[in-house]
Structure 1
């Protein structure tokens, strides 16, 4: 028996543990896909362990994270669908541009090289890391109040605090520095091959109340793909913040991604185990 299901690799961003994808993996299993939600390099298996041992993730940058996921992808039997949130969305775009994915969905993706807008809310969300250059080689934790501003501004205080307790972990500071200074670097790791005409289809999803990756940032990234004839779509979700993949409205985001994949001819149920 050979598993013919379409693999899906879920890539989280900063300050969320890979286990935060659990509702998504259950849904994808039910839809006939073969989902995987690996952690970042050095990420402990559980939220408590990640909080207790933050040093294991220190120093990981965009290239190291991309190479980590690329190695996992190359071991799969077929190219996967890539679904990423925040910096995971940047990584998903990078891997898709390298031809390592069948399609990609980038949800509130961190800014790629070439994105010019820099809204105040984005700077404030990143300030716990960027205010101290030494954080480039460290991991940084958010307080519940900082999480509320960066992730939970579009949900209730109670829900934001619950998500913080359930999923928040320290995050390496290096990716934020790399993205922040991408436009000043000739060989930035945040550079994406936006002109690639041979890549798979890409969907960018933007939460229009997001403080961490404001809508204008996602729209600017979308425009950078204008020279490519490969499919690139943008979906804007009103009244959604950066917590949109883990808060009580996650299912609407997942359904948006699944519906778009189906329109690209990519489903899970159509693939059954071979004989």
Structure 2
């Protein structure tokens, strides 16, 4: 059995985004899984048709759901997450459940101070009303184009919106936005932990939703805490980087990074 890789999606995008990555990683000898968030439908259409199952789903519930999947595997897997999936990947690593983690444009962990304007604007569809903390929120095509599709063509953004966009719970955004005001936050991780396996943080230079300064802020927390973490920035990419036309570059670079850190598939 090959080394397991668990892919974790973020807000507003279905887990189907990982299918090209899974096909590539499977061919290289890994065993891949891309579980859904609790409440997601098995398909984009199913999630859109019944979004009520996502009501009030927060960071802890999502983390616990993935932890259950991970604990059923024969060995600690590599976890690869995008956006809030990148935050969840760090939390799984913090729990000692991951052999290594790759976090693409990860949502801010507690302690990150950077709050760029574009992050606030991208979060506004949920944060504009306190009631949305307990509701499910959808993006319009225009909002998606700003938050995800600003570094690609309008036609490609429209296609990605049509193929991948789903409603998502508002609660994770409220938890992240208030993290530094609370003693205990679901978005907290131990950045002093040095035994959680290799960690790669990936920033996208044109990302509106998780700007590079946010990812750099997380990296600085790990550096100050003495935990091993690497930072890479793709200057011309946006928040759609892992599932737009340039996904293969990130995937191949991730495979090379795993190889460099001894996280090769077992034969």
Report the TM-score, using the length of structure 1 for normalisation: 0.96
2:19 and 2:189 map into 1 onto residues whose CA distance is 28
Partners of 1:254 and 1:192 lie apart in 2 by 25
- Aligned pair partner of 1:147 in 144, 149, 164: 144
CA distance in 1, matches of 2:214, 2:5: 26
Paired residue for 1:176?
173
Contact 1:200 1:230 in 2 (8 A): no
Q: 2:57 aligns with which of 48, 60, 71?
A: 60
Which residue number in structure 1 is paired with residue 164 of structure 2? Answer: 167
Q: Which of 47, 52, 66 lines up with 1:50 in the alignment?
A: 47
CA distance in 1, matches of 2:260, 2:225: 19
Residue equivalent to 2:111: 114
Q: In the alignment, which residue of structure 2 is the partner of 1:252?
A: 249
What secondary structure, in the 3-state scheme, does the structure 2 residue paired with 1:190 have?
A: coil
CA distance in 1 between partners of 2:258 and 2:226 (Å): 18
- Name 1:189's counterpart in structure 2: 186
Report how far residue 21 of structure 1 moved: 0.7
212, 216, 234: which one aligns with 2:213: 216
Specify which of 90, 93, 99 is matched with residue 90 of structure 2: 93
Segments of 5+ residues of structure 1 without an aligned counterpart are none
Cα distance, 1:256 vs. partner? 1.5
Q: Select which of 30, 34, 57 maps to 1:33.
A: 30
Alignment pair present for 1:129 and 2:134: no
Distance 1:54 1:245 in 2: 24
Q: Which of 74, 79, 84 is matched with 1:77 structurally?
A: 74
SS of residue matched to 2:21: helix
- How big is the shift at 1:229? 4.1
Query: Which residue of 2 is the match for residue 158 of structure 1?
Result: 155
What's the TM-score, normalizing by structure 2? 0.99
1:197 Cα offset (Å):
1.6
Q: Is the 8 A contact 2:222 2:228 kept in 1?
A: no
Structure 2 unaligned spans of 5+: none
Equivalent pairs counted in the alignment come to 267
Q: Please identify, of 149-158 and 256-265, the stretch whose mean Cα deviation from structure 2 is larger.
A: 256-265
The equivalent of 1:200 in structure 2 is 197
Whole-angstrom CA distance in 2 between matches of 1:91 and 1:119: 22
CA–CA separation in structure 2 for the residues paired with 1:101 and 1:18: 19
| Aligned position for 2:10 | 13
For 1:123-177, what per-residue CA distance to the aligned partner results, in whole angstroms no more than 9, with x for missing partners? 0000000001111111100000000000000000000000000000000000000
1: CA distance, partners of 2:164 / 2:22 = 16
